[in-house]
């Protein structure tokens, strides 16, 4: 008898308060790396009502106008209505940024000269920026090697943002989406449920919103997976005029499952946004995803999960684990993974992580986007 189950994942739009914070934090990271690729950045952003709070540690030679940068991000996301307490020109910005702790800096730098390029032999001794464990996951159920529920949830959220900018001006920046996929023998069989909660302008009737989602958004985004009988729920709480930071607080790093695999793959617990790649919470997770992809692309498994762990200041991984969930040989997959160099400096060099590439990861997922280096089959294995 075929095994049938349902799995649900959610996404949030770029205007969700937590996602807005992720984008501000990563915009600051990008600005630092653009001027000084060896910047050390760990930035947290908090938003509520009419206030943005920046906190964390930065060591950089960059000259950043934080006030202007924050307002630019808010404006680009779409919070520009002066009647809204939270809007780009009216927010109050509290800057509590400091410098990185000297002990951490010394453990990570490992006596390297700051002016040296990452590729020099001295830089190869760079240790992990913290202890921790990271997971990477890949599955052949979609061309992007991502779980279908989170992939479609992201696309619905992106679709809302696209439509808001291209004709559906009554849509607001804040939104959540959710997709339930029915699996038969671990293979996607059909979409069971779709849930869309979207901010909207005052006076827009519920019927108009439902018609837009059911007749325009869902069929376009879901494509061949769409069926007229898919259970679709729109704004179940009713009116959603008040949204964004004016109605709810936001904080960097609170959407780590949205950022990764929608719950289908495990998560080590460390958030990504606002952290430079010396923080293995980010770079280690990216590389674990890259290696999991290679296992699937090499035909060693249909699904693969890679776990790597680190100790602060140490360059060698603390442990490496691979599971193929019964779709391959775990021993062969582990031997394959061990051919890759998981040292932090090597990861940074292999994936070109000192470039200002991070804001594009801060909404709609850090994985499954073909233009990101860790989504490319181009990194060579260690000799």
The beta-carbon contacts of 28-31 under 8 Å, at least 24 apart in sequence, are 28/54, 28/58, 28/64, 28/66, 28/69, 28/274, 29/273, 29/274, 29/275, 29/276, 29/356, 29/358, 29/359, 30/356, 30/357, 30/358, 30/359, 31/62, 31/64, 31/69, 31/356
Nearest to 242, CA basis, from 180, 182, 302, 174: 174
Phi, psi of 23 (to 5 degrees): -70, -35
Catalytic amino acids?
Answer: 16, 18-19, 44, 57, 176, 240, 248-249, 254-255, 275, 279, 281
Nearest to 291, CA basis, from 167, 162, 381, 163: 381
Sort strands 187-200 and 231-234 into parallel, antiparallel or unpaired: parallel
Whole-angstrom distance, CA of residue 366 vs CA of residue 73 = 18
* pLDDT one digit per residue (tens) for the chain, 383 residues: 679 999 999 999 999 999 999 999 999 999 999 999 999 999 999 999 999 999 999 999 999 999 999 999 999 999 999 999 999 999 999 999 998 655 555 554 543 444 444 444 334 557 776 789 999 999 999 999 999 999 999 999 999 999 999 999 999 999 999 999 999 999 999 999 999 999 999 999 999 999 999 999 999 999 999 999 999 999 999 999 999 999 999 999 999 999 999 999 999 999 999 999 999 999 999 999 999 999 999 999 999 999 999 998 888 999 999 999 999 999 999 999 999 999 999 999 999 999 999 999 999 999 999 999 999 986 555 54
Question: What pLDDT, on the 0 to 100 scale, is given for residue 104?
Answer: 52
Coil, strand or helix at 284? helix
Q: Give me 62's structure tokens.
A: 């960059």
Residue 104 forms beta bridges with which residues?
Answer: none
pTM: 0.92
């Amino acid at each position: 008898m075929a095994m049938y189950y349902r799995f649900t994942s959610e996404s949030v739009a770029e205007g969700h308060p937590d996602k807005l914070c992720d984008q501000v934090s990563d915009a600051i990271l990008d600005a630092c790396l653009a001027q000084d690729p060896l910047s050390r950045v760990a930035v947290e952003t908090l938003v509520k009502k009419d206030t943005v709070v920046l906190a964390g540690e930065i060591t950089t030679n960059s000259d950043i106008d934080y006030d202007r940068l924050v307002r630019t991000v808010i404006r680009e996301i779409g919070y520009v209505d002066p009647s809204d307490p939270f809007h780009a020109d009216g927010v109050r910005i509290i800057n509590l940024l400091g410098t990185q702790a000297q002990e951490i800096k010394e453990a990570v730098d490992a006596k390297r000269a700051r002016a040296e390029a990452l590729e020099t032999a001295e830089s190869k001794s760079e240790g992990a920026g913290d202890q921790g464990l990271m997971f990477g996951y890949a599955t052949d159920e979609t061309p992007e090697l991502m779980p279908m529920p989170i992939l479609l949830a992201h696309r619905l959220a992106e679709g809302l943002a696209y439509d808001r900018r291209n004709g559906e001006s009554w849509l607001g920046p804040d939104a959540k989406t959710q997709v339930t996929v029915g699996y038969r023998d671990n293979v996607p069989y059909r979409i069971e449920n779709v849930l869309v909660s979207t901010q909207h302008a005052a006076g827009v009737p519920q019927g108009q919103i439902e018609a837009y989602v059911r007749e325009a958004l869902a069929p376009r985004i879901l494509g061949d997976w769409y069926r007229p009988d898919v259970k679709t729920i729109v704004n179940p709480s009713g009116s959603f005029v008040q949204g964004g930071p004016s109605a709810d607080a936001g904080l960097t790093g609170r959407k780590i499952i949205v950022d990764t695999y929608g719950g289908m793959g495990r998560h080590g617990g460390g958030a990504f946004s606002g952290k430079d790649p010396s923080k293995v919470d980010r770079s280690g997770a990216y590389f674990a995803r890259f290696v999991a992809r290679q296992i699937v692309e090499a035909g060693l498994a249909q699904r693969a999960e890679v776990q790597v762990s680190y100790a602060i200041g140490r360059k060698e991984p603390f442990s490496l684990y691979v599971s193929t969930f019964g779709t391959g040989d775990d021993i062969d997959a582990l031997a394959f993974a061990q051919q890759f160099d998981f040292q932090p400096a090597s990861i940074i060099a292999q994936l070109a992580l000192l470039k200002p590439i991070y804001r594009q990861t801060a909404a709609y997922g850090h994985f499954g986007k073909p233009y990101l280096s860790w989504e490319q089959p181009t990194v060579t294995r260690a000799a």
